[in-house]
Amino acid sequence: IDWPGRWGRVIGFVGPKRILYFGLVTTGQKAKTVIDSPLWGRKLIPSVKIADLETNAFQTVIEELHPYTSISFGRLKSMAATGADD
């Protein structure tokens, strides 16, 4: 299985045919980089995208995400228990 801009790992599934994932720029876009170490040089800055595995359609959700930024996906237990997100 492949999807547009595939890079890194899948963050989570959004339904049976859609995934949230780390991706790189796709055709026609310029890759962005950051220098965060003089020893390792430039690193690519990924984005977060959502893709439909059947149609290969995708949408960028977060355009630039520094490589060391952590993100999570899903509902918080405290919100689910209180019904605060309903």
Q: Mapping DSSP to helix (H, G, I), strand (E, B) and coil, where does residue 78 land?
A: helix
Query: What is the pTM for the complete model shown?
Result: 0.66
Q: Are 22 and 53 in contact (CB under 8 A)?
A: no
Task: Output the six-digit token pair for 60.
Answer: 């960028």
Rounded Cα gap, residues 73 and 70, in angstroms: 11
What integer best gives the mean pLDDT of the chain?
77
pLDDT digits (tens, 9 = 90+) for 7-29: 878 888 888 899 998 888 776 77
